[in-house]
Structure 1
Amino acid sequence: MPPPMLIHAAAAAASPRHARLARATATAATTTTSAVLLARRDLTVNDAQKVTLGIIAVYVVAIALLWNIPYVRGILWPFKMLVIAFHEFSHAFACVLTGGRVQSISLDPREGGVTHMLGGRNAVTLPAGYLGSSLIGALLTFAGFNINASKIASIVVGVAFLLTLWWGRRDWLTILTVLAAVGLLVGCWFIAHAEALRFVVLFIGVMSSLYSVWDICDDLILRKVNSSDASVFAQRYGGSSQCWGVIWSVISLGFMAAGIVAGIAAFPQSATQQREDSQHFIPTKF
Protein backbone atom coordinates (compact mmCIF):
# COMPACT_ATOMS: atom_id res chain seq x y z
CA MET A 1 0.00 0.00 0.00
CA PRO A 2 1.52 3.37 -1.00
CA PRO A 3 2.20 5.94 1.67
CA PRO A 4 -0.53 8.52 2.41
CA MET A 5 1.62 11.34 0.98
CA LEU A 6 1.84 9.57 -2.40
CA ILE A 7 -1.92 9.02 -2.46
CA HIS A 8 -2.50 12.69 -1.66
CA ALA A 9 -0.05 13.76 -4.37
CA ALA A 10 -1.73 11.50 -6.97
CA ALA A 11 -5.14 12.89 -6.02
CA ALA A 12 -3.84 16.43 -6.26
CA ALA A 13 -2.36 15.70 -9.71
CA ALA A 14 -5.58 14.11 -10.95
CA SER A 15 -7.76 16.88 -9.61
CA PRO A 16 -6.74 19.58 -12.18
CA ARG A 17 -7.19 17.06 -15.01
CA HIS A 18 -10.69 16.26 -13.79
CA ALA A 19 -11.45 19.96 -13.45
CA ARG A 20 -10.25 20.66 -16.97
CA LEU A 21 -12.27 17.71 -18.31
CA ALA A 22 -15.35 18.93 -16.46
CA ARG A 23 -14.90 22.46 -17.83
CA ALA A 24 -14.40 21.13 -21.37
CA THR A 25 -17.51 18.95 -21.06
CA ALA A 26 -19.53 21.87 -19.75
CA THR A 27 -18.26 24.12 -22.55
CA ALA A 28 -19.13 21.53 -25.19
CA ALA A 29 -22.60 21.08 -23.72
CA THR A 30 -23.13 24.84 -23.65
CA THR A 31 -21.91 25.17 -27.25
CA THR A 32 -24.20 22.36 -28.42
CA THR A 33 -27.17 23.87 -26.59
CA SER A 34 -26.42 27.29 -28.08
CA ALA A 35 -26.16 25.83 -31.57
CA VAL A 36 -29.52 24.08 -31.17
CA LEU A 37 -31.16 27.23 -29.85
CA LEU A 38 -29.58 29.29 -32.65
CA ALA A 39 -30.84 26.85 -35.27
CA ARG A 40 -34.32 26.97 -33.78
CA ARG A 41 -34.24 30.75 -33.64
CA ASP A 42 -32.97 31.08 -37.23
CA LEU A 43 -35.76 28.87 -38.58
CA THR A 44 -38.46 30.61 -36.59
CA VAL A 45 -40.73 32.35 -39.09
CA ASN A 46 -41.44 35.97 -38.15
CA ASP A 47 -44.24 38.16 -39.47
CA ALA A 48 -42.27 39.51 -42.43
CA GLN A 49 -41.28 36.00 -43.47
CA LYS A 50 -44.85 34.79 -43.13
CA VAL A 51 -45.86 37.48 -45.60
CA THR A 52 -43.09 36.38 -47.97
CA LEU A 53 -44.13 32.73 -47.70
CA GLY A 54 -47.75 33.73 -48.34
CA ILE A 55 -46.71 35.67 -51.43
CA ILE A 56 -44.73 32.67 -52.67
CA ALA A 57 -47.84 30.51 -52.26
CA VAL A 58 -49.92 33.08 -54.17
CA TYR A 59 -47.32 33.17 -56.92
CA VAL A 60 -47.35 29.37 -57.22
CA VAL A 61 -51.15 29.24 -57.51
CA ALA A 62 -51.31 32.21 -59.91
CA ILE A 63 -48.59 30.79 -62.16
CA ALA A 64 -50.25 27.36 -62.21
CA LEU A 65 -53.61 28.88 -63.17
CA LEU A 66 -52.28 31.31 -65.76
CA TRP A 67 -50.18 28.54 -67.26
CA ASN A 68 -53.21 26.47 -68.18
CA ILE A 69 -56.05 28.94 -68.81
CA PRO A 70 -56.52 29.76 -72.51
CA TYR A 71 -56.34 33.38 -73.66
CA VAL A 72 -54.82 34.64 -70.39
CA ARG A 73 -51.71 32.45 -70.40
CA GLY A 74 -50.08 35.10 -72.57
CA ILE A 75 -49.67 37.20 -69.43
CA LEU A 76 -46.80 34.93 -68.44
CA TRP A 77 -45.17 35.02 -71.87
CA PRO A 78 -42.59 37.74 -71.08
CA PHE A 79 -41.56 35.91 -67.91
CA LYS A 80 -41.39 32.60 -69.75
CA MET A 81 -39.02 34.17 -72.24
CA LEU A 82 -37.05 35.51 -69.29
CA VAL A 83 -36.56 32.10 -67.67
CA ILE A 84 -35.76 30.59 -71.07
CA ALA A 85 -32.98 33.18 -71.20
CA PHE A 86 -31.83 31.80 -67.80
CA HIS A 87 -31.90 28.30 -69.31
CA GLU A 88 -29.80 29.26 -72.30
CA PHE A 89 -27.43 31.40 -70.24
CA SER A 90 -26.82 28.38 -67.97
CA HIS A 91 -25.87 26.29 -71.02
CA ALA A 92 -23.52 29.03 -72.15
CA PHE A 93 -21.96 29.57 -68.73
CA ALA A 94 -21.34 25.83 -68.27
CA CYS A 95 -19.76 25.70 -71.73
CA VAL A 96 -17.34 28.51 -70.91
CA LEU A 97 -16.47 26.99 -67.52
CA THR A 98 -15.59 23.66 -69.14
CA GLY A 99 -13.35 25.16 -71.81
CA GLY A 100 -15.82 25.59 -74.66
CA ARG A 101 -16.83 28.60 -76.71
CA VAL A 102 -20.31 30.06 -77.15
CA GLN A 103 -21.17 31.08 -80.68
CA SER A 104 -24.67 32.49 -80.16
CA ILE A 105 -27.88 32.38 -78.13
CA SER A 106 -31.33 32.66 -79.73
CA LEU A 107 -34.81 32.79 -78.20
CA ASP A 108 -37.88 31.56 -80.09
CA PRO A 109 -41.23 33.44 -79.86
CA ARG A 110 -42.87 30.03 -79.40
CA GLU A 111 -41.13 29.81 -76.03
CA GLY A 112 -38.02 27.98 -77.09
CA GLY A 113 -34.35 28.72 -77.26
CA VAL A 114 -31.06 27.38 -78.51
CA THR A 115 -27.42 27.91 -77.58
CA HIS A 116 -24.79 27.17 -80.20
CA MET A 117 -21.57 25.99 -78.57
CA LEU A 118 -18.21 24.61 -79.59
CA GLY A 119 -16.40 22.31 -77.17
CA GLY A 120 -17.10 22.08 -73.48
CA ARG A 121 -18.03 18.96 -71.51
CA ASN A 122 -21.42 17.61 -72.54
CA ALA A 123 -21.86 15.88 -69.19
CA VAL A 124 -21.96 19.38 -67.66
CA THR A 125 -23.44 21.54 -70.42
CA LEU A 126 -26.46 19.30 -71.19
CA PRO A 127 -28.07 19.30 -67.71
CA ALA A 128 -26.90 22.85 -67.04
CA GLY A 129 -29.90 24.40 -68.79
CA TYR A 130 -32.53 22.80 -66.57
CA LEU A 131 -30.53 22.69 -63.35
CA GLY A 132 -28.88 26.06 -63.88
CA SER A 133 -32.17 27.89 -64.39
CA SER A 134 -33.68 26.17 -61.33
CA LEU A 135 -30.60 27.10 -59.27
CA ILE A 136 -30.92 30.71 -60.42
CA GLY A 137 -34.59 30.57 -59.44
CA ALA A 138 -33.69 29.26 -55.98
CA LEU A 139 -31.10 31.99 -55.47
CA LEU A 140 -33.58 34.68 -56.53
CA THR A 141 -36.21 33.21 -54.21
CA PHE A 142 -33.63 33.31 -51.42
CA ALA A 143 -32.82 36.96 -52.20
CA GLY A 144 -36.53 37.78 -52.33
CA PHE A 145 -36.73 37.48 -48.55
CA ASN A 146 -34.76 40.72 -48.14
CA ILE A 147 -34.73 44.09 -49.93
CA ASN A 148 -30.96 44.60 -49.91
CA ALA A 149 -30.36 41.02 -51.03
CA SER A 150 -32.80 41.65 -53.88
CA LYS A 151 -30.77 44.70 -54.89
CA ILE A 152 -27.60 42.63 -55.06
CA ALA A 153 -29.39 39.85 -56.94
CA SER A 154 -30.78 42.30 -59.49
CA ILE A 155 -27.25 43.60 -60.19
CA VAL A 156 -25.95 40.07 -60.72
CA VAL A 157 -28.91 39.21 -62.96
CA GLY A 158 -28.38 42.41 -64.93
CA VAL A 159 -24.73 41.55 -65.57
CA ALA A 160 -25.71 38.01 -66.60
CA PHE A 161 -28.28 39.42 -68.99
CA LEU A 162 -25.69 41.69 -70.56
CA LEU A 163 -23.58 38.62 -71.26
CA THR A 164 -26.62 36.94 -72.78
CA LEU A 165 -27.20 40.06 -74.85
CA TRP A 166 -23.62 39.87 -76.15
CA TRP A 167 -24.08 36.25 -77.23
CA GLY A 168 -27.52 36.94 -78.66
CA ARG A 169 -26.77 40.25 -80.31
CA ARG A 170 -28.06 39.03 -83.69
CA ASP A 171 -31.43 37.89 -82.35
CA TRP A 172 -34.04 40.64 -81.90
CA LEU A 173 -36.22 38.68 -79.47
CA THR A 174 -33.27 37.99 -77.18
CA ILE A 175 -32.35 41.68 -77.27
CA LEU A 176 -35.90 42.84 -76.46
CA THR A 177 -36.34 40.28 -73.68
CA VAL A 178 -33.06 41.23 -72.03
CA LEU A 179 -33.68 44.98 -72.30
CA ALA A 180 -37.24 44.63 -70.95
CA ALA A 181 -36.00 42.55 -68.00
CA VAL A 182 -33.21 44.97 -67.16
CA GLY A 183 -35.62 47.91 -67.51
CA LEU A 184 -38.11 46.25 -65.13
CA LEU A 185 -35.42 45.64 -62.52
CA VAL A 186 -34.00 49.16 -62.79
CA GLY A 187 -37.46 50.72 -62.56
CA CYS A 188 -38.31 48.78 -59.39
CA TRP A 189 -35.21 50.19 -57.69
CA PHE A 190 -36.95 53.56 -57.49
CA ILE A 191 -40.21 52.42 -55.91
CA ALA A 192 -40.37 52.69 -52.09
CA HIS A 193 -36.61 52.25 -51.62
CA ALA A 194 -36.68 49.14 -53.86
CA GLU A 195 -39.34 47.34 -51.82
CA ALA A 196 -41.14 46.58 -55.09
CA LEU A 197 -37.90 45.08 -56.40
CA ARG A 198 -38.05 42.39 -53.72
CA PHE A 199 -41.42 41.12 -54.92
CA VAL A 200 -40.36 41.18 -58.57
CA VAL A 201 -37.16 39.26 -57.79
CA LEU A 202 -39.22 36.81 -55.74
CA PHE A 203 -41.70 36.30 -58.59
CA ILE A 204 -38.94 35.73 -61.14
CA GLY A 205 -37.30 33.25 -58.76
CA VAL A 206 -40.50 31.26 -58.23
CA MET A 207 -41.30 31.41 -61.94
CA SER A 208 -37.83 30.16 -62.90
CA SER A 209 -37.99 27.28 -60.41
CA LEU A 210 -41.47 26.19 -61.49
CA TYR A 211 -40.79 26.62 -65.19
CA SER A 212 -37.71 24.45 -64.95
CA VAL A 213 -39.66 21.64 -63.29
CA TRP A 214 -42.63 22.01 -65.65
CA ASP A 215 -40.37 22.11 -68.72
CA ILE A 216 -38.65 18.92 -67.62
CA CYS A 217 -41.96 17.14 -66.97
CA ASP A 218 -43.58 18.45 -70.16
CA ASP A 219 -40.66 17.58 -72.44
CA LEU A 220 -39.52 14.31 -70.88
CA ILE A 221 -42.39 12.74 -68.98
CA LEU A 222 -45.64 13.95 -70.57
CA ARG A 223 -44.72 14.53 -74.22
CA LYS A 224 -41.46 12.53 -74.39
CA VAL A 225 -39.70 14.94 -76.73
CA ASN A 226 -36.88 13.21 -78.59
CA SER A 227 -34.71 16.28 -79.07
CA SER A 228 -34.46 17.42 -75.45
CA ASP A 229 -31.25 17.89 -73.48
CA ALA A 230 -32.08 14.80 -71.41
CA SER A 231 -32.61 12.59 -74.47
CA VAL A 232 -29.18 13.57 -75.78
CA PHE A 233 -27.73 13.04 -72.30
CA ALA A 234 -29.31 9.57 -72.12
CA GLN A 235 -27.96 8.61 -75.54
CA ARG A 236 -24.43 9.56 -74.54
CA TYR A 237 -24.30 8.47 -70.92
CA GLY A 238 -26.97 5.79 -70.57
CA GLY A 239 -30.37 5.55 -68.92
CA SER A 240 -33.60 6.97 -70.29
CA SER A 241 -34.58 10.57 -70.84
CA GLN A 242 -37.61 10.07 -68.55
CA CYS A 243 -35.36 8.78 -65.77
CA TRP A 244 -33.02 11.76 -66.07
CA GLY A 245 -36.06 14.03 -66.22
CA VAL A 246 -37.34 12.72 -62.89
CA ILE A 247 -33.90 13.06 -61.30
CA TRP A 248 -33.47 16.63 -62.57
CA SER A 249 -37.00 17.54 -61.44
CA VAL A 250 -36.31 16.31 -57.91
CA ILE A 251 -33.05 18.27 -57.84
CA SER A 252 -34.84 21.39 -59.11
CA LEU A 253 -37.52 21.14 -56.40
CA GLY A 254 -34.74 20.58 -53.85
CA PHE A 255 -33.07 23.80 -55.00
CA MET A 256 -36.32 25.72 -54.55
CA ALA A 257 -36.96 24.29 -51.07
CA ALA A 258 -33.36 25.02 -50.05
CA GLY A 259 -33.71 28.61 -51.25
CA ILE A 260 -36.80 29.12 -49.10
CA VAL A 261 -35.25 27.56 -45.98
CA ALA A 262 -32.04 29.53 -46.46
CA GLY A 263 -34.03 32.75 -46.87
CA ILE A 264 -35.82 32.13 -43.58
CA ALA A 265 -32.53 31.41 -41.79
CA ALA A 266 -30.52 34.28 -43.30
CA PHE A 267 -33.01 37.17 -43.19
CA PRO A 268 -34.83 37.46 -39.85
CA GLN A 269 -35.24 41.25 -40.18
CA SER A 270 -38.68 42.75 -39.84
CA ALA A 271 -40.28 44.64 -42.73
CA THR A 272 -39.56 47.96 -41.00
CA GLN A 273 -35.93 47.07 -40.43
CA GLN A 274 -35.55 46.02 -44.06
CA ARG A 275 -36.89 49.39 -45.24
CA GLU A 276 -34.48 51.24 -42.94
CA ASP A 277 -31.53 49.14 -44.09
CA SER A 278 -32.49 49.71 -47.71
CA GLN A 279 -32.37 53.48 -47.24
CA HIS A 280 -28.65 53.20 -46.44
CA PHE A 281 -27.67 50.67 -49.13
CA ILE A 282 -27.58 52.30 -52.57
CA PRO A 283 -30.58 54.45 -51.50
CA THR A 284 -33.24 55.21 -54.10
CA LYS A 285 -36.81 56.39 -53.90
CA PHE A 286 -39.47 57.36 -56.39
Structure 2
Amino acid sequence: MARTQNKNQNIIELVFLSFVLIISFLLWDTFLVYPVKLFVVIIHEISHAISAIVSGGKVIAFNIGFDLGGKCETENGNNIFIAAAGYLGSLLFGLLIFYSTYNKKIGKWLLIIIALLILITSVSLMQNFSLILWTVLYSVLLFVSAFFLYIRIDSYILKLFGMLSCIYVLFDIKEDILSTNSAISDASILSDLINVPTIVIGLIWLIISLAGIFLIMRLSYVQKTK
Protein backbone atom coordinates (compact mmCIF):
# COMPACT_ATOMS: atom_id res chain seq x y z
CA MET A 1 0.00 0.00 0.00
CA ALA A 2 2.75 2.42 1.01
CA ARG A 3 4.72 1.47 -2.09
CA THR A 4 1.70 2.25 -4.28
CA GLN A 5 1.24 5.62 -2.59
CA ASN A 6 4.91 6.48 -3.11
CA LYS A 7 4.68 5.48 -6.76
CA ASN A 8 1.56 7.59 -7.25
CA GLN A 9 3.23 10.55 -5.54
CA ASN A 10 6.29 10.17 -7.75
CA ILE A 11 4.12 10.08 -10.87
CA ILE A 12 2.26 13.22 -9.75
CA GLU A 13 5.57 14.98 -9.14
CA LEU A 14 6.92 13.91 -12.53
CA VAL A 15 3.76 15.24 -14.21
CA PHE A 16 4.15 18.50 -12.27
CA LEU A 17 7.76 18.93 -13.37
CA SER A 18 6.88 18.10 -16.97
CA PHE A 19 4.13 20.73 -16.81
CA VAL A 20 6.63 23.26 -15.44
CA LEU A 21 9.01 22.42 -18.27
CA ILE A 22 6.33 23.09 -20.90
CA ILE A 23 5.08 26.29 -19.25
CA SER A 24 8.66 27.55 -18.93
CA PHE A 25 9.14 27.34 -22.68
CA LEU A 26 5.86 29.17 -23.29
CA LEU A 27 6.49 31.95 -20.75
CA TRP A 28 10.26 32.17 -21.14
CA ASP A 29 10.43 35.86 -22.02
CA THR A 30 7.87 37.03 -19.45
CA PHE A 31 8.36 38.60 -16.02
CA LEU A 32 7.24 35.35 -14.36
CA VAL A 33 10.51 33.61 -15.20
CA TYR A 34 12.73 36.70 -14.85
CA PRO A 35 13.62 36.20 -11.13
CA VAL A 36 14.98 32.75 -11.91
CA LYS A 37 16.94 34.08 -14.89
CA LEU A 38 18.52 36.78 -12.73
CA PHE A 39 19.36 34.20 -10.07
CA VAL A 40 21.12 31.98 -12.63
CA VAL A 41 23.11 34.92 -14.03
CA ILE A 42 24.21 35.77 -10.49
CA ILE A 43 25.36 32.23 -9.68
CA HIS A 44 26.97 31.99 -13.14
CA GLU A 45 29.22 34.97 -12.40
CA ILE A 46 29.73 33.88 -8.79
CA SER A 47 30.95 30.51 -10.11
CA HIS A 48 33.58 32.34 -12.18
CA ALA A 49 34.62 34.35 -9.12
CA ILE A 50 34.85 31.34 -6.80
CA SER A 51 36.85 29.33 -9.35
CA ALA A 52 39.29 32.22 -9.74
CA ILE A 53 39.84 32.51 -5.99
CA VAL A 54 40.09 28.74 -5.48
CA SER A 55 42.68 28.41 -8.26
CA GLY A 56 44.90 31.13 -6.80
CA GLY A 57 43.65 34.17 -8.70
CA LYS A 58 41.59 37.19 -7.78
CA VAL A 59 38.56 39.09 -9.06
CA ILE A 60 39.31 42.58 -10.38
CA ALA A 61 35.86 43.45 -11.75
CA PHE A 62 32.41 42.00 -11.12
CA ASN A 63 29.33 43.40 -12.82
CA ILE A 64 25.80 42.10 -13.40
CA GLY A 65 23.04 44.05 -15.11
CA PHE A 66 19.28 43.79 -14.83
CA ASP A 67 19.34 43.09 -18.58
CA LEU A 68 20.76 39.68 -17.55
CA GLY A 69 24.25 40.52 -18.75
CA GLY A 70 27.19 39.69 -16.52
CA LYS A 71 30.95 40.11 -16.46
CA CYS A 72 33.58 38.75 -14.11
CA GLU A 73 37.15 39.87 -14.81
CA THR A 74 39.86 37.89 -13.07
CA GLU A 75 43.61 37.96 -12.73
CA ASN A 76 45.87 34.90 -12.47
CA GLY A 77 44.33 31.58 -11.45
CA ASN A 78 43.56 28.68 -13.77
CA ASN A 79 41.96 30.29 -16.83
CA ILE A 80 40.53 27.03 -18.19
CA PHE A 81 38.89 26.24 -14.85
CA ILE A 82 37.56 29.80 -14.58
CA ALA A 83 36.11 29.87 -18.11
CA ALA A 84 34.37 26.50 -17.68
CA ALA A 85 33.00 27.29 -14.23
CA GLY A 86 30.22 29.68 -15.27
CA TYR A 87 27.74 27.38 -17.01
CA LEU A 88 28.81 24.22 -15.22
CA GLY A 89 28.72 25.98 -11.85
CA SER A 90 25.23 27.40 -12.34
CA LEU A 91 24.01 23.99 -13.53
CA LEU A 92 25.53 22.37 -10.44
CA PHE A 93 23.86 24.91 -8.15
CA GLY A 94 20.50 24.14 -9.78
CA LEU A 95 20.99 20.39 -9.37
CA LEU A 96 22.02 20.76 -5.72
CA ILE A 97 18.99 22.93 -4.93
CA PHE A 98 16.74 20.32 -6.53
CA TYR A 99 18.47 17.43 -4.74
CA SER A 100 18.19 19.19 -1.37
CA THR A 101 14.47 18.39 -1.29
CA TYR A 102 15.10 14.63 -1.33
CA ASN A 103 17.64 14.34 1.46
CA LYS A 104 16.58 16.77 4.14
CA LYS A 105 19.58 16.26 6.42
CA ILE A 106 22.11 16.93 3.68
CA GLY A 107 19.77 19.31 1.86
CA LYS A 108 19.51 21.65 4.82
CA TRP A 109 23.26 22.20 4.86
CA LEU A 110 23.49 22.41 1.08
CA LEU A 111 20.98 25.26 1.03
CA ILE A 112 22.69 27.07 3.91
CA ILE A 113 26.10 26.80 2.21
CA ILE A 114 24.69 27.99 -1.14
CA ALA A 115 22.93 30.90 0.58
CA LEU A 116 26.12 31.96 2.37
CA LEU A 117 28.24 31.63 -0.78
CA ILE A 118 25.84 33.85 -2.72
CA LEU A 119 25.59 36.38 0.09
CA ILE A 120 29.29 36.67 0.92
CA THR A 121 30.51 36.70 -2.69
CA SER A 122 27.88 39.18 -3.87
CA VAL A 123 28.24 41.63 -1.00
CA SER A 124 32.04 41.49 -1.32
CA LEU A 125 32.18 42.06 -5.08
CA MET A 126 29.03 43.84 -6.24
CA GLN A 127 28.73 47.62 -6.36
CA ASN A 128 25.11 47.92 -7.54
CA PHE A 129 23.03 48.39 -4.38
CA SER A 130 19.77 47.28 -6.03
CA LEU A 131 21.41 44.08 -7.20
CA ILE A 132 22.87 43.47 -3.75
CA LEU A 133 19.32 43.63 -2.38
CA TRP A 134 18.26 40.97 -4.87
CA THR A 135 21.11 38.68 -3.86
CA VAL A 136 20.31 39.21 -0.18
CA LEU A 137 16.69 38.26 -0.95
CA TYR A 138 17.77 35.09 -2.75
CA SER A 139 20.13 34.18 0.08
CA VAL A 140 17.48 34.74 2.76
CA LEU A 141 14.91 32.67 0.84
CA LEU A 142 17.34 29.77 0.45
CA PHE A 143 18.44 30.01 4.09
CA VAL A 144 14.86 30.05 5.41
CA SER A 145 13.81 27.26 3.03
CA ALA A 146 16.51 25.04 4.54
CA PHE A 147 14.50 24.84 7.77
CA PHE A 148 11.13 24.07 6.15
CA LEU A 149 12.01 21.24 3.77
CA TYR A 150 9.39 19.03 5.43
CA ILE A 151 6.64 21.34 4.11
CA ARG A 152 5.54 20.19 0.67
CA ILE A 153 5.03 23.67 -0.80
CA ASP A 154 8.57 24.62 0.21
CA SER A 155 9.86 21.45 -1.41
CA TYR A 156 7.98 22.15 -4.65
CA ILE A 157 9.21 25.75 -4.80
CA LEU A 158 12.82 24.59 -4.44
CA LYS A 159 12.33 21.91 -7.08
CA LEU A 160 10.80 24.51 -9.38
CA PHE A 161 13.71 26.88 -8.79
CA GLY A 162 16.32 24.17 -9.25
CA MET A 163 14.75 22.85 -12.44
CA LEU A 164 14.26 26.29 -13.99
CA SER A 165 17.89 27.09 -13.17
CA CYS A 166 19.00 24.06 -15.19
CA ILE A 167 16.63 24.97 -18.03
CA TYR A 168 17.96 28.52 -18.15
CA VAL A 169 21.51 27.22 -18.47
CA LEU A 170 20.30 25.23 -21.48
CA PHE A 171 18.66 28.28 -23.06
CA ASP A 172 21.63 30.51 -22.27
CA ILE A 173 24.10 28.15 -23.90
CA LYS A 174 21.92 27.86 -26.99
CA GLU A 175 21.38 31.61 -27.36
CA ASP A 176 24.85 32.86 -26.43
CA ILE A 177 27.06 30.14 -27.84
CA LEU A 178 25.33 28.36 -30.70
CA SER A 179 23.81 31.47 -32.27
CA THR A 180 25.54 33.33 -35.10
CA ASN A 181 26.43 36.45 -33.09
CA SER A 182 30.06 37.46 -32.63
CA ALA A 183 29.91 38.34 -28.93
CA ILE A 184 32.63 37.03 -26.64
CA SER A 185 31.34 34.10 -24.60
CA ASP A 186 32.72 31.62 -22.08
CA ALA A 187 32.89 29.05 -24.87
CA SER A 188 34.90 31.32 -27.18
CA ILE A 189 37.33 32.11 -24.34
CA LEU A 190 37.68 28.41 -23.53
CA SER A 191 38.08 27.67 -27.24
CA ASP A 192 41.10 29.97 -27.43
CA LEU A 193 42.61 28.37 -24.34
CA ILE A 194 42.33 24.71 -25.38
CA ASN A 195 42.18 25.03 -29.19
CA VAL A 196 38.79 23.34 -29.52
CA PRO A 197 36.08 24.89 -31.77
CA THR A 198 33.51 27.00 -29.93
CA ILE A 199 30.65 24.98 -31.42
CA VAL A 200 32.10 21.76 -30.01
CA ILE A 201 32.37 23.25 -26.52
CA GLY A 202 28.82 24.57 -26.82
CA LEU A 203 27.50 21.15 -27.84
CA ILE A 204 29.31 19.46 -24.96
CA TRP A 205 27.77 21.92 -22.49
CA LEU A 206 24.35 21.41 -24.08
CA ILE A 207 24.67 17.65 -23.64
CA ILE A 208 25.72 18.10 -20.00
CA SER A 209 22.75 20.43 -19.40
CA LEU A 210 20.31 17.98 -21.01
CA ALA A 211 21.81 15.20 -18.88
CA GLY A 212 21.24 17.35 -15.79
CA ILE A 213 17.58 17.92 -16.70
CA PHE A 214 17.14 14.19 -17.38
CA LEU A 215 18.70 13.44 -13.99
CA ILE A 216 16.20 15.76 -12.33
CA MET A 217 13.25 14.08 -14.05
CA ARG A 218 14.54 10.63 -13.16
CA LEU A 219 15.27 11.62 -9.58
CA SER A 220 11.73 12.94 -9.17
CA TYR A 221 10.37 9.52 -10.14
CA VAL A 222 12.65 7.00 -8.43
CA GLN A 223 14.02 8.79 -5.36
CA LYS A 224 12.41 8.44 -1.94
CA THR A 225 12.51 11.42 0.38
CA LYS A 226 14.79 10.90 3.36
C-alpha distance in 1 between matches for 2:188 and 2:106: 37
After the TM superposition, which parts of structure 1 deviate over 6 Å for at least 4 consecutive aligned residues?
189-192
Q: Does 1:198 align with 2:155?
A: yes
Q: CA deviation at 1:78?
A: 1.6
Pairwise CA distance, 1:178:
0.7
Matched, 1:135 2:71: no
2:223 and 2:189 map into 1 onto residues whose CA distance is 39
Residue in 1 aligned with 2:116? 159
Identity of aligned residues (%): 24
1:94 aligns with one of 51, 55, 69 = 51
2:9 is aligned, of 25, 31, 48, to 48
- Counterpart residue number, 1:61: 22
Structure 2 residue aligned with 1:256: 213
- Partner letter of residue 208 of structure 2? I
- Decide whether the 8 Å contact of 1:137 with 1:205 is kept in 2: yes
Q: Distance in 2 between matches of 1:186 and 1:93?
A: 20
Inter-partner Cα distance in structure 1 for 2:18 and 2:200: 28
Structure 2 counterpart SS, 1:244: helix
The superposition leaves residues 96-137 of structure 1 with CA deviations (integer Å, 9 ceiling, x where unpaired) of: 221111234321111111112221111111011011111211
- Please give the TM-score of this superposition, normalised by the length of structure 1: 0.69
1:217 aligns with 2:174: yes
Q: Return the TM-score normalized by structure 2.
A: 0.85
Q: 1:149 to 1:249 in 2, by over 3 A?
A: same
- Secondary structure class of the residue paired with 1:202: helix
Q: Does 1:83 align with 2:44?
A: no
Residue in 2 that maps onto 1:281: none
Cα gap change, 1:120/1:259 in structure 2, threshold over 3 Å: closer, same or farther? farther
SS at match of 2:89: helix
Per the alignment, in what secondary structure is the counterpart of residue 67 of structure 1?
Answer: coil
Match of 2:3 in 1: none
